[in-house]
Structure 1
Amino acid sequence: MDSNQSLIKLKDAYQSDGSKLLPEDSPFQTLFADITHRCNMSCKNCYIPIRDLPDLPVDWLYDILTRLPRRARIRLVGAEPTMREDLPDIIREVRKLGHIPVILSNGLKLGRLSYVRTLKAAGLKTVYLSMNGGLKDDLYEEIDELACADRKLKALHNLLREGMNITVGMILIPGLNVDHLVEFIEYLEQRGVRDIHLRSVGPMGNYMKVPPFDLEGLETCLKQALGSRAENLKLMDRSESNLDLQLGRVKYQLTAWPDLGSMERGRITPEGYVEPMFESIIANEFSY
């Protein structure tokens, strides 16, 4: 089944009776697994703000992964995945089952170098690090309700030191952290970060009630931050919700959330099915 047929099947399922797809029929290149609902932060923008659900049973997760039809990037997310003491074991098993483990983290526990090395030894090579406040405590306090710039930067330093593939993510909020983008991008580029993800506030779960940037607005923010260098941006890919650009060795991904209808990102449901990532979050808001 080619990707167009898979997309038609996916959309038909949602438009008819809301049915899910079996893992064997997954068309997704990336699957999110909510391995815990615990967190050590209380950010104002959180698409899964429920905290009283039990951790995902690992044997159940591994069974789902063995049934996927092809190798996939398994994004181990939460809330905060590093809250699980068995995270190294999960990473190791995901790799053993033939998939690519990725963690999406706020980075607070990654400030400990020995912990980063433990995750690396288990088979972790790729980390998405959330840095909504960039280099500034006041921005983190406003967006994530915690002055944690030093801890975030230490995590970034440790990940770079260990040669991890790093995506630095920032939610762009009008009138708040946009002006900081110039300084932050310069900082990241100087330290060799090659993947930067800028996205809008997503109207899911808990979120700041501000008019979010659309894709064109995100592009304008980036180009203003780059100044004259923006003329050298190369278009790599574009969809309704995503814009991928490249400047030299640095890749910029812009996402206007929610990214509905995506063929790339899916989510493993508690019932053992897979479904589109953002459709899943919206349909199950405040339930899991």
Structure 2
Amino acid sequence: MSERFLDSYKRPLRDLRISVTDKCNFRCTYCMPAEIFGPDYAFLPHDKLLSFEEITRLTKIFASMGTEKIRITGGEPLMRKDLPTLIQMISEVEGVRDIAMTTNGSLLAKHAKALKAAGLKRVTVSLDSLDDDRFGQINGRGFRVETILSGIEAAADAGLQVKINMVVQRGMNEQDILPMARYFREKGHILRFIEYMDVGNSNGWRLDLVVPSREIAALIHAEMPLEPAEPNYYGEVASRYRYQGTEQEIGFISSVTQAFCSTCTRARLSAEGKLYTCLFAADGEDLREPLRSGYTDEDLRQLIGGIWSRRSDRYSEERLKHTPELTQRKKVEMSHIGG
């Protein structure tokens, strides 16, 4: 029987995002720029990562506290060996009703069937352009669009629900907004546009590089009229729309211009076992050491409950004031906690 845990703003703990690795085979400019995450960058050694058994144990504890949705992230989660085994373990946890994964899609075609069989229900694929040259520039490694599209179709064929996330940066890929909307409308997959965010300190974020969701929506609406759709659940991050006269959905995630901190129900667990209560947090609370030093499940439950009850994060609402000191303060890198 799960108990309801609320933070200082009365937000429940409903979603847990679990990073299974800090490694990625991409070097996207807004997440893991190659000039910082180069050949000599020291990623976590394997013994510092939480084991599948430790992740599953924590998932059971979170589920007992009311967490219902699990999202597997990275880095690139499919770089973690035997990931379907972890999905299977989590799928057997009482109280977990939904398991999703965020991926760059480059390895998805190979693993889609096994992930579905293990209990994964949904996958979100990051794709920022349909133009090979631009996509190669953004991903920093020259990966081609066709590789990602093949992964998307393999996931859909395996029975996974598929969403595509596109981060829009001014001066980088605004010209890809309409081609992406046309393509995925025809394919029947949900496309979501994400405002470029100041996650971490390595991506050179500036406010003038943000393309507001309202601008993106207006551009699409002029060619393919949109109508609002009702939210699916409390705390949904995307504003949902449909193409008029259809059931085909499109979404906008407006963390910069229309902050949704007031309904945020997400906690994040890094690959080495630190608990973060905000995507823009500077530091996390270590759970690995208590896990490995004899804490009982109830001890861990009380520890996590205390962390959540003290939670007062509302960074994106505070960012609306555009305070330079705020946006430039130290923050955990997105690649470390998976967005």
Higher alpha-carbon Rg: 2
Pair 1:61 & 2:20 matched: no
137-146 or 76-85, which moves further after superposition?
A: 137-146
Change beyond 3 A, Cα 1:262–1:284: farther
Equivalent pair of 1:37/1:51 in contact (CA under 8 Å):
no
Separation in structure 2 between the aligned mates of residue 209 and residue 284 of structure 1, nearest angstrom: 12
Separation in structure 2 between the aligned mates of residue 111 and residue 129 of structure 1, nearest angstrom: 12
Partner of 1:37: 22
Q: Identity of counterpart residues, as a percentage?
A: 19
Change beyond 3 A, Cα 1:203–1:177: same
How far did 1:229 drift? 3.4
Partner of 2:108: 110
Equivalent pair of 1:34/1:56 in contact (CA under 8 Å):
no
Q: Which runs of 5+ in 1 are unaligned?
A: 11-26
Pair 1:93 & 2:140 matched: no
Equivalent pair of 1:199/1:254 in contact (CA under 8 Å):
yes
Separation in structure 1 between the aligned mates of residue 85 and residue 70 of structure 2, nearest angstrom: 14
Pair 1:227 & 2:222 matched: yes
SS in 2 for 1:8: coil
Change beyond 3 A, Cα 1:47–1:123: same
Separation in structure 1 between the aligned mates of residue 32 and residue 137 of structure 2, nearest angstrom: 17
Separation in structure 2 between the aligned mates of residue 254 and residue 276 of structure 1, nearest angstrom: 16
How far did 1:203 drift? 1.2
Partner of 2:280: 278
Equivalences for 1:183-262 in 2 at 5 Å?
183-193=179-189, 195-205=190-200, 206-210=202-206, 211-213=208-210, 217-230=212-225, 232-234=226-228, 236=230, 244-247=239-242, 248-249=246-247, 250-257=249-256, 260=261, 262=263
Equivalences for 1:3-42 in 2 at 5 Å?
6-8=7-9, 27-42=12-27
Deviations 1:220-277 (CA, angstroms, capped at 9, x unpaired): 21221232533x411535x9x9551321321413232586555222212555646233
Partner of 1:21: none
**TM-score scaled by length of structure 2:** 0.68
How far did 1:121 drift? 0.9
Separation in structure 1 between the aligned mates of residue 4 and residue 52 of structure 2, nearest angstrom: 31
Equivalent pair of 2:237/2:253 in contact (CA under 8 Å):
yes
Change beyond 3 A, Cα 1:212–1:175: closer
Deviations 1:181-209 (CA, angstroms, capped at 9, x unpaired): 1111111011111x222112221233254
How far did 1:120 drift? 1.0
How far did 1:28 drift? 2.5
RMSD of equivalent CA atoms: 3.2
Equivalent pair of 2:197/2:205 in contact (CA under 8 Å):
no
Change beyond 3 A, Cα 1:2–1:56: closer
Partner of 1:162: 158
Alignment coverage as a number of residue pairs:
264
Q: Which runs of 5+ in 2 are unaligned?
A: 284-328
Pair 1:78 & 2:74 matched: yes
SS in 1 for 2:253: strand
SS in 1 for 2:105: coil
How far did 1:9 drift? 6.0
Change beyond 3 A, Cα 1:285–1:96: same
SS in 1 for 2:9: helix
Please tell me the residue identity of whatever aligns with 1:263: C
How far did 1:8 drift? 2.2
Separation in structure 1 between the aligned mates of residue 106 and residue 42 of structure 2, nearest angstrom: 18
Please tell me the residue identity of whatever aligns with 1:285: V
How far did 1:89 drift? 0.5
Change beyond 3 A, Cα 1:43–1:228: closer
Deviations 1:73-103 (CA, angstroms, capped at 9, x unpaired): 2111110000012200010011111322211
**TM-score scaled by length of structure 1:** 0.79
Separation in structure 1 between the aligned mates of residue 157 and residue 28 of structure 2, nearest angstrom: 27
